Structure 1
Amino acid sequence: MSRKAREAAAQDGASVIIKKYANRRLYNTASSSYITLEDLAGMVRENVEFQVLDAKTGDDITHSILTQIIMDEEANGGQQMLPVSFLRQLIGMYGNSMQAMMPSYLEASMANFRENQSKIREAFEKGISATPFAAIHETNMAMMRAAAEVFLPGAVSSKPAEKKPASPPAASSDEIAALREQMAAMQKKLDELGK
């Protein structure tokens, strides 16, 4: 396959093949050039589909390469994204009867988060608690709390969250202050879970 054909295939949504050689070098077959893990991280951010193959055996090693990128990002990124408590809980799931369910649960959670993150950000930036976007956020949080309780009993408080009556569309300063207090309480709980 010619270089132009490979690039056209990559643009048509086909996976770019990356070959990893014994000397740890990565070769992008679409661009006919050697690349780094940082380049692969950039491809992920640009939503470029790729598959990493061991050049000698032909085995698909994409999972281990992506895991290595995460490890590098966590070590060098300055601000870590994965809290220690999450890592401990994730490690604890290996060998657990729920292990088979975790990949699909994590994929669904991340997809749901990505779909709604801009809507949620807008709702909180505007300080409007009675919008459909805030309702989406509350539904997502309730789903995550319920799933966390199923997957990790005891990790979430057993006391159900109190439902508040819907407020009128115009948010008063009292409602905004209450939202700020709730956000501070949530942050405190997250900090405690991170310890």
Structure 2
Amino acid sequence: MAEQDQTTSAPAIKIKKYANRRLYNTATSSYVTLENLCQMVKDGQDFVVEDAKTGDDITRSVLTQIIFEEESKGQNLMPIGFLRRLITFYGDSLQTLVPSYLEVSMASFQRNQEQMRQYMAESFGEMFPFRNIEEMGRQNMAMFQRAMTMFNPFIANLGEAADKAANPANGEAPAEVDTLKSQLDELRKQVEALARNKG
């Protein structure tokens, strides 16, 4: 059974996919396209896609196909760097944590979208409100870490381990941490320069 969106109470609509790649909406007794399914997602309509011959749940592959189609139209939501990093997690020991992280992050982003729209509206013609978005990101990460700790106590030790790596007992930070700090400082300088130019 496909994972259903917990925000909807109505039962999921069943879509059947035939060998000729045609998609059939059993609720409306009509054939639909990937664009129709894309709109259903945007409208908050939950559905599952089954292989008409085998009965296998192929919802995930169809949703992935919708994303591929949207990306091919030039509506790029997934940065190249994100896709590369995502690929590296296939087969990794942390692979099982990635879906939960992405789902929690996206759910939090969705809850905050109205606030983000307001920030952007208030900042129209001015520099994008990096600090507000950065604060939201920190809150999202903290919420995710709390949620993951409930499922796996090992995760609770990750933050502590990271702190120890960044602040070893002898007071000497590893070269990687120094590099990250310098990169962050450089980024901060660039943002401040942009802010001054806007002013």
Give TM-score scaled by structure 2 length: 0.63
Flag as ranges the 4+ runs of structure 1 deviating above 2 A.
123-127, 133-147, 157-162, 177-182
Deviations 1:64-112 (A, max 9, x none): 0000010111112x23111111110110111111110000100010011
CA gap of 1:115–1:123, structure 2 versus 1, over 3 A, is same
RMSD over equivalenced CA pairs, Å: 3.4
Q: Give unmatched runs, 5+ long, in structure 2.
A: 1-7, 124-128, 145-157, 163-175, 186-190
Alpha-carbon separation, structure 1, partners of 2:44 and 2:117: 22
Aligned residue for 2:25? 28
Q: Give unmatched runs, 5+ long, in structure 1.
A: 1-10, 128-132, 163-176, 185-195
> Within the alignment, does 1:46 sit opposite 2:60 as a pair?
no
Q: Secondary structure at the match of 2:54?
A: coil
Q: What is the Cα deviation at residue 26 of structure 1?
A: 0.5
Aligned residue for 1:91? 87
Deviations 1:125-146 (A, max 9, x none): 324xxxxx99874333235788
Following superposition of structure 1 onto structure 2, how do residues 38-187 of structure 1 map, counting pairs within 5 Å?
38-76=35-73, 78-127=74-123, 137-142=133-138, 158-159=180-181, 181=195
Alpha-carbon separation, structure 2, partners of 1:80 and 1:109: 19
- Contact 2:49 2:59 survives alignment (8 Å): yes
Count of matched residue positions in the alignment of Structure 1 and Structure 2: 147
CA gap of 1:115–1:135, structure 2 versus 1, over 3 A, is farther
Identity of matched residues, %? 46
Aligned residue for 1:193? none
CA gap of 1:136–1:104, structure 2 versus 1, over 3 A, is farther
